Structures are given as C-alpha cells and as structure tokens.
C-alpha cells in the first residue's frame, strides 16, 4: 500500500507542476484576432472613487465615449495607499500591469522604467504638444533623479497646515512663521488641554512630512538627495535637526495617533478636536465655507522657516501629486488616443471641480470659485523656485518602511533621536550597498 501511494504522490506532484506551468507556456502568445465590443482600458488608482481626480477622469472618459469612441474606462481603486502599492507590485510581478495606473516618481518607478515597462512620458507629452503647458513644479515632481519622466501629473498640489481660528484666538496665538514659534504654539495649546495637531499615523507619509521640513529649510533638497544616494547620513547635523524636530512635535500629536487613519485624523480637525492639521489642496473642498461644519473657522500657514534657511518662505510643499503612468506593452493605438484625449481635456473639467490642474491656467470669472480657492491660487502664483521633495519618493522602499515604523516610535518617545538615526543609517547602508 505504501509503495503504491508513494508513487501516487510523485505522479500527483509531477502532474501539478505540469498543470501549473501551462500559463507559463501560454504567456508567450499574444491574443490575436479582431476584438469585438468596446476596448476596455483600466485605470488603477490609490484614490477613492469620490476623489476629484477620479471624478474628472471619469467625466472625460464619458465625453470621449459620447463622441463615438468605443472605449470603456474601468476605474479600479484600492482601499488605501499601502494596499494599492501591494496590489500594483503584485500585478507587475505577475505581468498583469493595467493600462494606466498611479505611480510616484520613486525608485520603483525607476526600476520599472529601466525594465522597459513604462511609456517614456516626457517624450510622449512633447509629442502631443502639452509638455510646456505644465506648471514647472507639477511636471518636475514626476522627474526621477536621473532625469527621466514616466508619469504625467493630474493635479497641482500645495500643502499647508490648517488651523482652527477660534482656538488660536482664544489663546492669543498667531500663525507661526518659524519652527520655534510653531513648537511654542503647540506647547501653549497642550498646556490648555487642547490637542495641538491631528495626524494620520497609520500611513507613514504624514509623519515623513515632519522629518523633512527642517532639512529642507537648511539645505533645499540637497540633503535628502544625498541621503538617498548614500552621500549623507541620518546622523549628520541636518538629518538630526529633522529627527529632533519630530521628537519634539510628537508630544503634540493626538493621543493614539499611531492607529489613527487618514479619515479619522481629518475628522478630528474638522470636528474641532484638534487645533491644527497638515494636509494639501486635494482636500481644499473640505475647507471652503460652504462645506465647513457649522461654527468652524479655519485658516492656514505654510511651512515655517528657521535661522540659516537657504530656502525662501514662499518655498514649501508644491508638487504634481502622484502621477499617472502607462504600461508600455498595452499602449496600443486606442489606448494612446484615449490618453491623449484625457490629457488634453482633463484640466478644464478638474478646474470646474474647484481643484488646481497641473497646467497653467487663468480664471476668467473668479466669482464662480470660492474665495479660498482664489486665495490659494494667488499663493501658488507667487510660489518660489524650489519645492520640497517628499522623502518617501526618494528613499529606497525598504528604508521608507523602516523609517515609517521608527518615526512612530520616535514621536511616541519610545526611541531616542540617536537610536532612530542609527537604525535608519543601518537600513540605508544595507539597501544602498547593492
């Protein structure tokens, strides 16, 4: 009985390997024959269906179809950014890239580009004559450190810290202009039992905003560029300035911030439970008067500065948001035609949603827009030359992951700044040696 069953197991395994290998044999063949029915183009995004970028893209796709083009756009969304990243990487590893998808200009994009999997977006945008229409910081945000561009922007974003005007007035506080003033504002609020800052501690990137601010003021993007290439260390003075800032600010985040998600953090501020909230203009519609909760008055300030700053006060967070990339092997004539139409018609639709498109625009009728929208747009028009690069698009993925986990511990006071810097330097050394 045992010999027979042993043979059965071997035969079963051999059959299983053969069956499992069938998709590999078949993967080299292309689908042939004329396609009947509409062409389906999938746009895979990390944004929720209610995001204005998604809404605008769907409106443009509907208009494209109404013009007689037999194309259906399927928008596939993920629950959150980490889930999106995991699914995208799985799709890529399984040769299942969607036609269009969100992609940051990070080391992973560089790997995909080097593997020939992405459309050269700089070339494509120039070919269709729109490259020069982009706002400089919007298109530059899509540029990799080596100069290549593999994604086109779908928004122009600036980030600021929103604050509760009534709470500030109650304690005679003014919008801080320096980091020291900011810490003092937080200290005053905390002493009076007010939660100074609401933050999403689950997603990693909001905390990474805080560690990036002081180094940007002290060095522009030079420090983070050097850090990401191994020429600088986290334990260098500029890095430690950022680390110490997080260690100090961490005391002023809401209790339980490490398990607070994006929506809960936003609602903490909008519900009047926290005095400040750092977020970008993609959430502007929450702050216009018509949408603010009753009794809530808000204002904002941009990234404070410090002594010895090499960047100007009108230089802070300004970028094109997570761009959209196109899979090269799926960029056939129909997909290219649709993408061209999308790029050329998207901005007008997006602007009507009271959002800032990535191309240069003028507003012919300001009365059609909320005063807050106009005010921020004027700020954007006076923006300086340099934009702070988010650290999570420059650092290797493994370092990002290590930093995100340890930033929580640093902000909670569970690790010292020196220990934090040591762990990050170790992670950088491991990941940059290869």
Partner 1 sequence: MTTLSKRGPAAVFLLPALVIYSAIVVLPIAQAAWLSLTEWNGVSAATWVGFANYVEVFQDGVFLKSLVNNVVYILVVMATQIGAGLILAILVSYLQRSRDLVRTLYFIPAVITVVAIAQLFRSIYSYEPVGLLNKVLLGLGLKPVPWLSNYQTALPAVSFVEGWQFIGIYLIIFYSALIAVPKDIVEAAQIDGAVDLKLLFRIKLPYIRNVIGLSLILSLVGALRGFAVPLLLTRGGPGSQTEILATYMYKKAFQSIKLGYGSAVAVIIAVISFAGVILIQRSTRSEED
Place of tokens 């994604």: 151
Place of tokens 């629950």: 79
* Percent of the chain that is helix, strand, coil (3-state, to 5): 50, 15, 35
Total interface residues for partner 1 by CB under 8 A: 53
429 binds partner 1 (CB under 8 A): no
228 binds partner 1 (CB under 8 A): no
Sole binder of partner 1 in the list 186, 326, 403, 415 (CB under 8 A):
415
- DSSP 3-state of 273: coil
Helix (H) / strand (E) element for 132: namely none
117 binds partner 1 (CB under 8 A): yes
Which residues within the stretch 375-404 sit at the binding site for partner 1 (CB under 8 A)?
397-398, 400-401
**Nearest approach, Cβ of 45 to partner 1 (angstroms)?**
18
Sole binder of partner 1 in the list 29, 32, 172, 255 (CB under 8 A):
255
Span interacting with partner 1, options 2-10, 63-71, 208-216, 285-293, rule CB under 8 A: 2-10
433 binds partner 1 (CB under 8 A): no
Of 2 and 378, which CB lies nearer to partner 1 in the complex structure? 2
229 binds partner 1 (CB under 8 A): no
* Mask for 265-304, x = binds partner 1 (CB under 8 A): ---x--x-x-------------------------------
434 binds partner 1 (CB under 8 A): yes
Q: Are 325 and 150 in contact (CB under 8 A)?
A: yes
Sole binder of partner 1 in the list 92, 185, 343, 372 (CB under 8 A):
92
d(CA 126, CA 141): 17
Q: Are 167 and 290 in contact (CB under 8 A)?
A: no
Sole binder of partner 1 in the list 40, 70, 96, 111 (CB under 8 A):
111
Residue 355: is it exposed, middle or buried by C-beta count within 10 angstroms (0-12/13-18/19+)?
Answer: buried
Sole binder of partner 1 in the list 19, 290, 294, 333 (CB under 8 A):
19
Place of tokens 């929103």: 162
Helix (H) / strand (E) element for 176: namely none
Query: Residue 22: what are its φ and ψ, rounded to 5°?
Result: -55, -45
Alpha-carbon torsion angle 273, 277, 280, 285, nearest 10: 20
Sole binder of partner 1 in the list 201, 215, 250, 320 (CB under 8 A):
201
Q: Are 53 and 350 in contact (CB under 8 A)?
A: yes
Query: Residue 335: what are its φ and ψ, rounded to 5°?
Result: -65, -40
Q: Which of 372, 404, 419 is nearest to 210 (CA)?
A: 404
Residues near partner 1 (CB under 8 A):
1, 3-5, 7-9, 11-13, 15-17, 19-20, 82, 85-86, 89-90, 92-93, 108, 111-112, 114-115, 117, 195, 201-202, 254-259, 264, 268, 271, 273, 397-398, 400-401, 405-406, 408-409, 412, 414-415, 434
């Amino acid at each position: 009985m045992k010999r027979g069953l042993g043979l059965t197991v071997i035969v079963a395994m051999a059959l299983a390997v053969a069956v499992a290998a069938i998709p590999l044999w078949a993967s080299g063949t292309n689908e042939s024959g004329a396609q009947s029915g509409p062409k389906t183009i999938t746009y895979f995004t990390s944004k929720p269906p209610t995001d204005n970028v998604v809404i605008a893209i769907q409106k443009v796709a509907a208009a494209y179809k109404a013009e007689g083009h037999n194309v259906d756009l399927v928008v596939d969304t993920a629950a959150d950014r980490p889930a999106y990243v995991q699914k995208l990487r799985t799709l890529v590893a399984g040769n299942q890239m969607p036609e269009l998808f969100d992609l940051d200009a990070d080391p992973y994009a560089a790997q995909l580009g080097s593997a020939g999997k992405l459309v050269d977006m700089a070339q494509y945008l120039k070919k269709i004559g729109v490259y020069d229409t982009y706002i400089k910081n919007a298109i530059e945000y899509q540029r990799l450190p080596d100069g290549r561009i593999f994604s086109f922007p779908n928004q122009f974003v600036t980030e600021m810290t929103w604050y509760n005007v009534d709470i500030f007035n109650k304690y005679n506080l003014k919008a801080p202009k320096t980091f020291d003033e900011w810490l003092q504002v937080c200290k005053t609020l905390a002493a009076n039992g007010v939660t100074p800052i609401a933050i999403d501690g689950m997603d990693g990137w909001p905390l990474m905003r805080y560690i990036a601010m002081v180094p940007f003021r002290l060095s522009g993007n030079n420090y983070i560029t050097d850090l990401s290439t191994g020429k600088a260390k986290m334990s260098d003075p500029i890095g430690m300035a950022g680390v110490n800032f997080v260690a100090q600010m961490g005391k002023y985040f809401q209790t339980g911030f490490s398990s607070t998600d994006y929506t809960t953090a936003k609602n903490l501020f909008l519900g009047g439970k926290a005095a400040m909230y750092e977020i970008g203009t993609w959430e502007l519609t929450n702050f216009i008067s018509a949408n603010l909760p009753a009794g809530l008055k808000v204002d904002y300030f941009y990234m404070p500065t410090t002594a010895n700053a090499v960047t100007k006060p009108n230089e802070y967070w300004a970028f094109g948001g997570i761009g959209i990339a196109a899979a090269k092997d799926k960029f056939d004539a129909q997909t290219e035609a649709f993408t061209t139409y999308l790029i050329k018609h998207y901005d007008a639709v997006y602007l009507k949603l009271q959002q800032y498109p990535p191309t240069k625009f003028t507003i012919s009728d300001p009365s059609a827009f909320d005063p807050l929208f106009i005010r921020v747009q004027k700020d954007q028009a006076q923006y300086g030359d340099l934009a702070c690069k988010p650290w999570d698009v420059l650092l290797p993925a493994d370092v990002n992951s290590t930093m995100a986990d340890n930033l929580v511990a640093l902000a909670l006071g569970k690790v010292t700044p020196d220990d934090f810097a040591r762990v990050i330097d170790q992670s950088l050394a491991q990941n940059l040696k290869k």
